[in-house]
Amino acid sequence: MLKKISSTMVVMVGSMISSFAVTVILGRSLSISDFGEFALLKQILLIGFTIAVFGLDYGYIKYFSDDHRKNKMIQFLTMKIIFGISLIFVFIIFLLYPIQSNKLFFIFISVCIGAINLFLAARCRIEEKFFLGQLLNSGWKIIFLILIIIMTLMGQVDQLNYVYVSIPISLAVISIFFVKKLFEKSEQIDDNIDIGHYLKLGLVFWLINSSALISGGIEKFAIPLIYDSKTLGIFTGTSFLFVISLTMIGSAIGYVIFPQIISGKIIHLWKVYLLIFIITLSSLIIFSLFGEDIVSIMFSGRFDYYINEYLIILFTTIGSLNIVHTILHFILSAHANEKQLLIYWVVTLFNILVFVLFLIIMRSTSYSLLISISIAIIITRFLKIISILILLKKVNNDRDGFLKIIPETV
């Protein structure tokens, strides 16, 4: 398992470094308000990809875990669903945020292509081609960095419109090499394939994954609505190094263990626990010693006024909780039956409401703005982790679950 995680991490590290570089470049050149809009855009796309694919990436893994057949009807049906949901999603974004119509068009194109990439990645994951799967998931960020560097050399990077244009181009460059694979050697409709069950599985995972992503990045959506884009820009600039770097590690681990748990392979969880502990402890030490200096260098001192050692501890705590939350999310998604997953969905929705409530309450306290936001995130993330652990205990004792028992080494 560690070998597969390592190969996946190659692409993830490349995409993470690219994401870091893009954030640094735009954090230096954009106004703080535009930088906040860019942070909101990234979160919109992250959620949009997941919502548009309708959970059919995970549904495909679950349904075809024992049979890797490629069916044309499944593929075309998935494409139609992605297109329709992308339209609805962009309309909702139009109602919530004052984004210009030309920008909404590029968001729509990006969401469609990104969702298709997720479905293609599921095909790779079920065949245990994790490197290719991760390339489809996040490799576009490397292309995006190249385009941003080109725009920087042309002196155009200070215009946010160029960012909106370059994202769908980046996604298309990655997907174009894999679209042919989607349809090659595909079978005609097979009466043994239960389309209804396939869609039902997708619906369950759609509810779970969409709400989980919204919950995991709810601050990016809530801050512009409760405060403004400038506040989001400040929070993103000061917390990015500490939160995102740790969150990506949790995603890399969860990305690998999900299909392996479903297929019944043994995973030594104590190794995962040990890895989390080492990463968290090392990060806390490094960030405490050098965090302020790194952020200052990254953004040319733009956020020096806002960051301090207390915020670094809070941000590192958020990142560490995100590692645990992400891994537990994948484990629960793999083990739970449909009823248990729906319970998890309700818990996640409740967690979102609790965060918004805490954010409003913390706003009226004497704490600084960034500390208030951080405390609200930590409290709700901790409550979410406790809820998942309780649900996992229920799965362990429920004979109707997909797996009857969750031993110490799954």
Q: Are 311 and 370 in contact (CB under 8 A)?
A: yes
Q: Are 46 and 87 in contact (CB under 8 A)?
A: no
**Model confidence pLDDT, tens digit, residues 255-305:** 666 666 665 666 666 676 787 788 778 888 888 888 888 888 888 888 888
CA distance 137 to 114: 8
Q: Are 56 and 182 in contact (CB under 8 A)?
A: no
Global pTM value: 0.75
What per-residue confidence (pLDDT) applies to 204? Answer: 77
R_g (Cα) of the chain, nearest Å: 21
Per-residue pLDDT band at 94 (split at 50, 70, 90)? very high
- Residue 50, both tokens: 């997941």
**Model confidence pLDDT, tens digit, residues 101-135:** 889 999 999 999 999 888 888 777 776 677 777 78
- Residue by residue, DSSP assigns 133-161 as HHHHHHTHHHHHHHHHHHHHHTT-TT-HH
